[in-house]
Each structure stands twice: as C-alpha cells, then as structure tokens.
Homo-oligomer: A and B are copies of this chain.
Amino acid sequence: MSLVYASLQEQKKMIGHIDAWLEKAVAHAKAKSFDPAVLLAARLAPDQYPLLRQVQACCDTAKFAAAYLSGKAAPKHPDTEQTLDEIRARIKACLAFLDTLKPADFEGAESRLVELSFMPGKVIKGSDYLTEMALPNFYFHTTLVYEILRHNGVDLGKRDYIGSLSLRDK
C-alpha cells in the first residue's frame, strides 16, 4: 500500500473519529441540559471558524486531497449544514466518496501535478501537495474540532484522537 493511499485511509479513520466525538458532544449536552447546537457555533478565537465550519473543512481537505491525488472529480458538497444531524450527514457523504477510491487510483500520485484554485498559473507536485498542504491542513482542522469540544468540557482524550494502531507481535 502506497504511503499516499495510507495517509488518505488514515484521514478516513480520523473523520470517523470526528463523528464519534460529535456523538459524545450530543451526550454531554444532554447530560448538562444544554442545546448541542451551542457547540456548533463555539470557537476558540473570534476570527476563526466555529466548530461546524471546522468539520466542513476537515471533510473538504480530505475530499480534495483524495480527488486531486487520484485525478478523480470531487463531488460537490455545498456548505449548507446548520444542525448536528446535517453535519453528520456531510461526514457520511464525504466518507462515501473516499470509499470509492482504491489503491490503484493513486498510482503515480506523488509525481502528479496538482492545480490549486487560489493559485492560478501555478501547480504543485503531488508529494509536495500532500506533505506541505493536505496533511498539515487536515490535522489542523481535525485538532480544532477536537479542541473546541475539549475546551467546552466534552470528555475526550488522546485515545479518542489517535484511535487504534496497527500493532504486531514482536
């Protein structure tokens, strides 16, 4: 399995974690008798995305990385979500697209030239795009989703973030 494909599989795993964190957030809000939608509008700096937009950003970063590196078209997911159920449906839609891609779709991905919409006239090599942009951005937004919830008292720990590891016996 190529490291490009493995990185994207890991993003898929992390997006599944985000869904589990949101489930914990709903239970936390219920236990404390507040509307879970309050969390969707929570943010850690006034000029930064709130939780809902951070989840959209996680999905988009993973979706576009998978699309750009495989040469497949990314499905359109307009940012219309407003509720927890809607944002969890967005996660499902993102995962459904990622599930369509197979290891063979990423053959030659490291040397594929990627075009960035905000950089007309320029391209970036697939391996540079993955290491310099897609991965740092994906983990940035994922960590902020985790942290906004953590800051608001949702009972999350490092194990919820990392999840299971492919350990082997010595």
Contacts and interface: CB of A to CB of B under 8 A. Distances in A.
Nearest to A150: B45
B125 A162 contact: no
Nearest to A151: B44
Given A44-B150, A143-B143, A132 B166 contact: yes
A35 interface: no
A136 B139 contact: yes
B135 A135 contact: yes
Given A45-B151, A137-B162, A124 B167 contact: yes
A66 to B, nearest CB: 15
A40 to B, nearest CB: 18
A37 B144 CA distance: 24
Identical chains in the assembly: 2
B167 A127 contact: no
A147 interface: yes
28 contacts: A3-B3, A3-B110, A3-B127, A7-B131, A10-B135, A44-B44, A44-B151, A119-B167, A121-B170, A122-B168, A122-B169, A122-B170, A123-B167, A123-B169, A123-B170, A124-B166, A124-B168, A125-B166, A125-B168, A128-B166, A132-B165, A132-B166, A136-B162, A139-B139, A139-B143, A140-B146, A143-B143, A147-B147
Interface of A: 1, 3-4, 6-7, 9-10, 13-14, 44-45, 48, 110, 113, 115-116, 119, 121-125, 127-128, 130-133, 135-137, 139-140, 143-144, 146-147, 150-151, 161-163, 165-170
